[in-house]
Each structure stands twice: as structure tokens, then as C-alpha cells.
Chain A
């Protein structure tokens, strides 16, 4: 059975008068067990939704940090089975857990089979950075049908460059939440938050009741607080990965830094609307 919809985490955060904190971490980095331990640290330190990255050989939407982590995971031999094992371990904590993946691994594995195995691992859904609802042939519609059959969230992206028509089409096909990319660019921590994010969130909320999470570039509590003022969720990825990348030979130090960063971000989303 699939895990709880990500929507439940947004609703709980909303009840507490705050934005949800969503953390991305690639499975198998630097190895499968450490990856699981790292994500559990994120959960214990305040992440409301976990996004587990499926390492892929050609990650066109990722900047150097996540590319490097994915490459390490692939060099270590990570397989889709390891990603699902990671989902199972994390979902067991009770936190809604989704997989973020480029489309070809799912396509090769079999869309229906992937949906079934993800659901039985306790996963809550998929974020698909290079699959839009209208990706064809054999793309968006196949995934929506499989997600429907297995009660999984389907989280598509909207971008500052999306037309209003596309935002309406995308949100109508979404379940769980909508992922708003705050910048025009690849993943990676940035010093300043983007002024493109707020208008995008406003345009998205105009056509859907789904929660809207904002990602790309967030790396500290202050930025999380700023985005948390207008978004339902704040998504952080590269900054988490960086803590482990920066401590290659001292795993405990990396995990401590990861926990401290998560706590700072969790404080940020709680400060936002005070």
C-alpha cells in the first residue's frame, strides 16, 4: 500500500501556521546505508516530506552538487532496488516519502511495475523533472494512469516560463502538491532567493487548491523564512547534499552538519509567518 499523500504533511504544517519543509537527498550517496542514515537525520531534525533522488546518468536539470552525488552513487553501483529499499526505510518513519526521478529509469523499469513497487515500499508518489503531463508518446498519461491505480501522488513542475494555460493543465493533472521552480536554471544553492518565485506561486495558486512548494536554490533558514511567507512548502536539496560532500572522510561530522542545517531550515519555515 502506498504511503500517505504528501498533502497530509502540508495540511499539518498549515494547521501549525507554517510552511512545510521538504528535503531532497539522492539514494545510494555516498553508499546506500549512509544515505538512509542521512535521510533519517533529516527526518529527526524537522523535514516534513522526503524526496529521494534516483541517481541517473544524464541529469540535465541538476547542477554540479547533485551531479557529483549522483555520480558517486552510480559509481558505487546503486540500483533501482536500492532506491526502493531506501524509500522503504524512510517511509517506515511515517514521513511522506516521494521519489524524484528523470523519466528513463521508470520507463525502462516499466511504469506500472515501478508504481506498484514504489507503493509497496510505502512510497507516496513521484516528482518528475523531465516529464510533463503532456509528454508523449508513452509518458505523462501512462504515469498518471499508473499513479491513479496505485494511489500515488504525481508531482509535476511549474516554471517561471510556464504560460497560465500550462500551469492550469499541469496542476489539473497533479496530486499531492505542485513543485514550483523558483529560478530559471539547474539545481544548486544560491545566495539570494529569486524574485521570480512569488509571482509564480501566485499564478499557480490562482488555478489550484493544491499546496505549492518552492524549490531550487534554498540553502539556509533565512531564505526558507522568506519563501515560507508565501509558499506552502520550501524545498531544499543541494545544500543538504553539500554537507555530506564536504565531509568525505568524517561521516559523523557530515551527519552533524546535515542535522544542524535541517534544524536551521525547520526554524526558518516556523519563523516565516510569525
Chain B
């Protein structure tokens, strides 16, 4: 493989397909990032802010009740416990620290589920930067809580109505703005996709997930896991987990894409599973597209996975066979969300529930082969508070009369219906 850090090319994928107007800014960012990562002061400051402010390293938790049900040891990397509730904080603190180092005072970001938007607004507040977040209008409606959080953190949220009004259109709009403001504005890209250097830079800021998990697993069990698993939308949490294990040939690497209503229905976001190589948002990668190269809208119950492209390094890992990518339907993900809630007392983000569902499916087969010592490490990339609206609708939890037990206590007079 060519050196991906230098060129951003991963096998047949990645690279840079961008308007000339943005090339200088991408080159500037690339140089600043490489220089920063080689500077011990920057690296120490990044580690300190993640540790003291954002709560890293996140724990590696052995889910014993879940393990019993599956017949294999299930380890959860608890990124849901991070400040702002997801792995996204790692990426934005890195990029915002870099923005500060580059002397820029303003950041823009796109967001799908709103987690990257909240993380960006948080980082902007922390570093004293002005922040504008582009978010698909469909997503501002289904993720109203995160919109409120961004407002509270002082960010401007711009709903994007164009196209399918979801994540891809938010990226389009952020890129349009960036072309006009690039001299003083940094684009905090939310996933390990887009043009070089974003896929490599976002991976490096997120790779602590896997570096920590690998060390935690070795320290506690003396062995590496048999498999590591993560959900894949753009793929930042997944590449953040996978990177530490790619050279461990005996560790299987599993990515789970959003299967929506089922890949066979055409309503899904399984870009690697059902897409074809092409160019989207500045990189060569798998893209959901028609015969004319028009992007096909993706569908997923999870706003964070609802994206018709995927990070180019994942495209390469899939093509090379180093990682296996499968899809998980909305129903499977929501079942896993409920399962994790009831067996472990953890309500995961719907994105992360895809990883749980897919990993448990494969873990059962692994357990049959290797017995109860089989170990699967799943990245629990975020917490589910933001998804309660969706969960209420999906599970029919919204009716205040639908309670799980008969009312107790004597009804007082005057309160009778």
C-alpha cells in the first residue's frame, strides 16, 4: 500500500477530487496537521484535553449478562461515557486544537445525528471559536434535542433543505460556505471521509479508541480479542477502533452498515455492501449511485449512519478483505438497543446498536467455533439519549396511559377522571 498519510490514497480509494478553490486550504491543513502531529507539545495538549476535559480513556467494560446470553465474552468500549456522549469529541478536540494553532477564529461543521454538531459546538465553546453547524432539515426535526444542545452551546445551526435534506446535503452546503470563507474559517469535518487529509486526520484523532481498547484488553485478559466490531456510516468510530488492530492478523475486523428496511428493498445505507466505486465529497470510495452517477438517497433509522458514501479507508479494507462489512436492519438494531438496555442497563445510540446487533450475530457463530473464551470487542460509540424520540415511536413508549404496571396509591377525590 502507498503511504496513506502522505497522499491520502488507500489502494484504489481516497485521494482528492475537489474544486481548485479549496486545494490550497486542504494543502495548508495537511501541512499544519502533519507538523502538529510531529510536535510533542501539540500531542501532549491533545492528550491532556481528552483526559481532563473529555474523560478519556473510556472504560472497557465486560458485559457479563450479555456474554452469558451469547456464549462468548462481549467487551464494550464505552465511548458513550465520553463528554458529549460519543466518540466524536476526540475528533473535534483534535481539529479545533489544530484550528487554534493555525490562527483561525471560526469553524463550520456538518452534522447528521447532531453528535458531531454538538461536539463541534462544545469544542468551539471550549476554545473560544465562532461556530456554525449545517444540518439537514430532516435531521433537525428528528434530532431536536441535539439542535437545542448546539444552541445552548452558542452555535448557529443552519437547516439545509436542498436535495434529500440529510447529512450529504449538509456536507454540500458546508463545502459551499467553506469555498467563500476559507481564508478565516476551518471546516471541522465530522467523519473519516472527504478529501485528503480528512480521512487520515480524523482517523488519527479517533485512533485512541482502538489504542486504548487494545491495551485495556491485553492488560485485563492477557490476549487480544478474536474480533473487533463497530458501526460504519462515514466510519470515524470504526476506523478509530480498527486502526490499532489492523496489524494483528488474528483479530477479525467487522464493520456494520445500516441496512434500513433491508438491503433488498433498496431503502438502506449499506454503501460498501450495495454501492459501487465512485467519487463523492472529494474522495474515491463506494457510493450509492445510479447508472448515471447520480447519488441515491440513503435510508436508515439512524441519522448518523444515513449517508450514501463511506470513508475511503473502509472501502480499501473491504476491497482488500482485511475487514468484513455486513449490514444490520433498522429492526435488528432496535432489538439490540432494547436488549442492551435490559441486560446491561445501557441505552446505546441507535448507531452503536447496529454494531451490537451485528457483532452479537457473528459472535454466536464464533462461540460455536471457539467456545466461551471467544472474545468480541464492540465499540459502543455513543449513548442513546438523543434517540429517545425515535425509541418512543418505535417501541410505542409514548402513551402515558401505557404503563407497565397497575397504578398504585389511593386516588384522591377531585382527581378522578
Interface residue ranges, A against B (CB under 8 Å)? 56-63, 67, 71, 74, 79-80, 103-109, 129-132, 134-139, 156-163, 166, 170, 181, 183-186
Return B301 CB to nearest CB of chain A, in Å: 23
Smallest CB separation, A199 vs chain B (Å): 15
Map CB proximity to A onto B248-282 as digits: 1 under 8 Å, 0 otherwise.
Answer: 00000000000000000000000000001011111
Residues of B near A181 (CB, < 8 A) are 20-21
Say yes or no: B279 contacts A137, CB within 8 Å: no
Task: Write out the residue numbers on chain B whose beta carbons fall within 8 Å of the beta carbon of A131.
Answer: 17
B278 to chain A, nearest CB (A): 5
| Residue contact A109 to B292, C-beta cutoff 8 Å | yes
Query: Which B residue sits closest to A132, measured CB to CB?
Result: B20
Stretch binding the partner chain, chosen from B32-40, B46-54, B174-182: B174-182
Neighbouring B residues of A158 by C-beta, 8 Å? 20
Closest 5 pairs (CB-CB, A-B) = A108-B293, A105-B293, A159-B21, A185-B180, A104-B293
State whether A161 touches B292 (Cβ < 8 A).
no
Say whether A60 contacts B19, CB under 8 Å: yes
Contacts of A137 in B (CB 8 A): 9, 12-15, 284
Give the distance to chain A from B16, nearest Cβ to Cβ, in Å. 6
Which residues of B have CB within 8 Å of A58?
Answer: 163, 168-169, 172, 280-281, 295
Q: How far is the CB of A86 from chain B (nearest CB, A)?
A: 14
Are the C-beta atoms of B20 and A104 separated by less than 8 Å?
Answer: no
Contact present for B276 and A108 (CB under 8 Å): yes
Q: Judge whether B176 and A105 touch: CB under 8 Å.
A: no
Is the C-beta of B162 less than 8 angstroms from some C-beta in chain A? yes
Q: Given A137-B12, A181-B21, are A108 and B292 also a contact pair (CB < 8 Å)?
A: yes
Are A74 and B294 within 8 A (Cβ)? yes
Smallest beta-carbon distance A141→chain B, Å: 11
Alpha-carbon gap, A139 to B13, bound state (A): 11
**Interface pair A130/B278, CB less than 8 Å apart:** no
Given contacts A58-B163, A104-B280, A107-B293, contact A136 B16 (CB under 8 A): yes
The verdict on B25 contacting chain A, using a C-beta distance below 8 Å, is yes
- The CA-CA distance from A130 to B293 in the complex, in Å, is 14
The distance in angstroms between the C-alpha atoms of A131 and B282, with both chains bound, is: 9
Cα A75 to Cα B281 in complex, Å, equals 22
* Residues of A contacting B295 in the complex (Cβ-Cβ under 8 angstroms): 57-58, 104
Nearest B residue to A216 via CB reads B21
Q: How far is the CA of A135 from the CA of B279 in the complex (A)?
A: 11
Residue B218 at the chain A interface, CB threshold 8 Å: no
Residue numbers in B under 8 Å from A107 (CB-CB): 278-279, 293
CB-CB contacts below 8 Å: B283-299 with A: 284, 287, 289, 291-295
Partner of A166, one of B19, B23, B163, B291: B23
Q: 16 extra interchain contacts, Cβ-Cβ under 8 A, other than A58-B168, A58-B280, A60-B281?
A: A56-B294, A61-B19, A104-B279, A104-B280, A108-B291, A108-B292, A131-B17, A135-B16, A137-B284, A138-B12, A157-B20, A161-B21, A162-B24, A163-B24, A166-B23, A185-B180
A100 to chain B, nearest CB (A): 13
Which A-chain residue is minimally distant from B296 (CB atoms)? Answer: A57
B18 within 8 Å of A by Cβ? yes
* Contact between A184 and B21, CB atoms less than 8 A apart: yes
Q: Is B413 an interface residue when CB atoms closer than 8 A count as contact?
A: no
The smallest beta-carbon distance between A60 and chain B, in angstroms, is 4
Q: Is B163 within 8 A of A136, CB to CB?
A: no
**B183 contacts partner chain A, Cβ-Cβ < 8 Å:** yes
CB distance B182 to A184 under 8 Å? yes
**Which residues of B are found within 8 Å of A103, using beta-carbon distances?**
17, 279
Q: Are A135 and B15 in contact (CB under 8 A)?
A: yes
Q: Is the CB of B17 within 8 A of A108?
A: no
Decide: A61 and B179 in contact? CB cutoff 8 A. Answer: yes
